[in-house]
Amino acid sequence: MAIGVTQEPDQVTEAIRVSVPDKGLRQDLRAIGIVWRRELIRFRSDRLRAITSLVQPVLFLFVLGTGLSSLASHGLPSGVDFKTFIYPGVLSMSVLFTAIFSAASIVWDREFGFLREMLVAPVSRSAIVIGKCLGGATVATFQGIVILALAGFAHVPYDPVLFLILIGELLLLAFTLTAFGVMMAARIKQIQAFMALTQMLVMPLFFLSGALYPLNGLPAWLTVLTRLDPLTYIVDPMRQAVFSHLNLPPETMAVLSPGITWGSWHVPVGVSLGIVAAMGATLLGIAIMEFQKTE
Amino acid sequence: MTEPAVLVDGLVKRYGEVEAVRGIGFEVAPGETFGFLGPNGAGKSTTIKILCTLANPTSGTARVAGYDVVKNRDTVRRNIGLVFQDTTLDSYLTGEQNLRFHADLYGVPRAQLPQRMRQVLEMVGLWDRRQAVVATYSGGMKRRLEIARGLLHAPRVLFLDEPTVGLDPQTRSSIWEYINDLKQREDITIFLTTHYMDEAENCDRIAIIDHGKIVAIDTPEQLKASVGKDRVQIATADDPAAIQEIKDRFAIDAAMHEGMVTFNVESGEQFVPRLFAELTAQIKAVSVSRPSLDDVFMSYTGKTIRDAEATAGDRNRAHVMAFRRGR
């Protein structure tokens, strides 16, 4: 046994005096920083997860996108590829899985005890939850950026302004989704239950978001459901951003990217994004409250 | 006299119908190593959870490092180090990254961190392995890393909840070497729980908790003394003569056991010098054995710790369920 590794005797006697400062904003920021960094470190060391969570969006873009394009081309204005149309939806999808999976790590952390290390620390629980959400959002946005790099295959131009807008929107989406996942993780203690529940929610969220079809001319029931899906309010701004950089005639735009309507009111992009941001903030608030409870 | 490191008064914790802790009170002096003993489910873990601010008491008060665990939760947290029964390390991170994470959460000043990190890692003999991912550590190494991490922010009270449970005997004793070593180096109070009676010998004072109540609290020596007499065994040149002489001089009945003159006496260690001085028979060997803490536990709870665990098992399950749900 490696008992008592030899040390300098003088080094042994004097303990380094450490004075831990009082709780405050600086402390909380530092805590947010390290919780965020841990997500990045773990993501970097988990390449398998990075690759597997890209499989689904790539499948949708290339296999579904290509396979359906001949069929869809009859409904699409000439010169517009189906892949281009579903590209914003695929982008959101790439973020969807990673963000939820990041939040799932809280359930893992609970199971493996590390959550306790965080919960007994002398920092506010909100710092830990915010750090976690930011970490999940960052990691998920990285995944989105990988899909963003494939823009050329979907005939989307590599325009810096467009990319900045899309990255910003991806971040917003990723943060809201992670907050949602963290809120769920506060209550669901078993990883199997968490995974089953999120899988059950993710697909309807995706299919109802208008990621794969335009939002106008739908039957009334589907119109209502798409308007209730929070993902709708981020897919549409992304699509508007993409299509505004394609130099398409207005009539084509009206068909493919009609925007969200509530009755006859066209929901502006700002309001759309505001809805997502407000949801993110609310979910974050609930998540913080959940984690503030003491036994 | 400075404030006690831990002060508990009338502490009660109820989980639904189950009363896990039923009104306990005790003090731990600064610098003391205090052992909290009892079978699983006796209320040890619940008490430690309250002292670590992870659970609120149903009633009663607890102060740690001079602060109330409910009212000054964060101040208490800054002043305590924790090593839990189950590992709370991130096994995907390296040893060093785990400590860095802790340092940032506890706000260890950056300027002092490298030195302090090296100090605690060297103390537990893990400095050379700091770059390795924790998943590659053995059980004993993980426990040592947790002890190092618990000390990183220089807490005033270190809580060790079953620090050696699940470790092989050799690793257990090495962990104890680190703990004893640590007492030499750091100005710290250690509060530990264990259900290994032999390990409790390392403590300055011991409290025995059973069914949510403290049934005994004292130094290991006093506790053992309260239980019964020491057993003295001597080998002499002429045993029958020795037995007779012991009877005549000290009015003690001795008998042959295991080939030696054997008798029971209070404070055996103090008796032995008298024996040497007064006994005419030549003494060739002597051994004094004390009642073990197992005997102590037996006498206070009416059962051995293993019996207690067996019967507490069912009652426990209710506690554990309550913990899980409450978390």
pLDDT interval class at A34 (50, 70, 90): very high
pLDDT of residue A8: 40
Beta carbons of B93 and A13 less than 8 Å apart? no
Tell me, which fold does domain B6-219 have in CATH? Rossmann fold (3.40.50)
Assign B303 to helix, strand or coil.
coil
pLDDT of residue A215: 87
pLDDT interval class at A12 (50, 70, 90): very low
Q: Does B116 touch chain A (CB under 8 A)?
A: yes
Q: Is the pLDDT of residue A160 over 60?
A: yes
A259 residue type, one letter: G
Q: What is the pLDDT of residues B61-100, one digit of tens each?
A: 999 999 999 999 889 999 999 998 888 999 889 999 999 9
| Residue of A34, A37, A117 to mutate, testing the B interface (most B Cβ within 10 Å of its Cβ) | A117
pLDDT interval class at B301 (50, 70, 90): confident
- Is the entire prediction scored with pTM above 0.90? no
Q: What is the pLDDT of residues A258-291, one digit of tens each?
A: 888 888 888 899 999 999 999 999 999 999 998 8
Q: Residue B143's CB: how many other CB atoms inside 10 A?
A: 27
Considering only CA atoms, give the Rg of chain B: 23
**What does the buried/exposed string (b/e) look like for B124-142 if buried means 16 or more CB atoms within 10 Å of the residue's CB?**
bbbbebbeebbeebeebbb
pLDDT of residue B314: 45
Burial (Cβ within 10 Å: 0-12, 13-18, ≥19) of residue A127: buried
Assign A214 to helix, strand or coil.
coil
Q: Which part of chain B has CATH 3.30.70.260? A: 229-289
B283 bridge partner residues:
B236
pLDDT of residue B311: 54
Burial (Cβ within 10 Å: 0-12, 13-18, ≥19) of residue A134: buried
Q: In what order do the strands lie in the sheet with B157-161?
A: B80-83, B157-161, B189-194, B33-37, B205-210, B213-218
Q: Is the pLDDT of residue B278 over 90?
A: no
Please, which residues have CB within 8 angstroms of residue A226's CB and are 6 or more apart in sequence? A208, A209, A210, A215, A218, A232
Q: Is the pLDDT of residue A158 over 60?
A: yes
Give the pairing of strands B205-210 and B33-37. parallel
CA angle B79, B84, B87 (to 5 degrees): 125
Mean pLDDT over A56-84 rounds to 84
Cβ(B73)–Cβ(B53) under 8 Å?
yes
Burial (Cβ within 10 Å: 0-12, 13-18, ≥19) of residue A108: middle
B105 contact residues in A (CB cutoff 8 A): 31, 34, 117-118, 121-123
φ, ψ of residue B267 to 5 degrees: the values are: 45, 65
**Highest-scoring range by mean pLDDT, A102-106, B132-136, B191-195, B243-247:** B132-136
pLDDT of residue A3: 42
Beta carbons of A16 and B154 less than 8 Å apart? yes
pLDDT of residue B313: 47
| Residue of A14, A20, A29, A30 to mutate, testing the B interface (most B Cβ within 10 Å of its Cβ) | A20
**What does the buried/exposed string (b/e) look like for A220-234 if buried means 16 or more CB atoms within 10 Å of the residue's CB?**
eeebebbbebbbbbb
Beta carbons of A113 and B84 less than 8 Å apart? yes
Distance between CA atoms of B281 and B236, rounded to whole angstroms?
A: 6
CATH superfamily, with its number, for domain B229-289: ACT domain (3.30.70.260)
pLDDT interval class at B252 (50, 70, 90): confident
Mean pLDDT over A56-82 rounds to 84
φ, ψ of residue B157 to 5 degrees: the values are: -130, 130
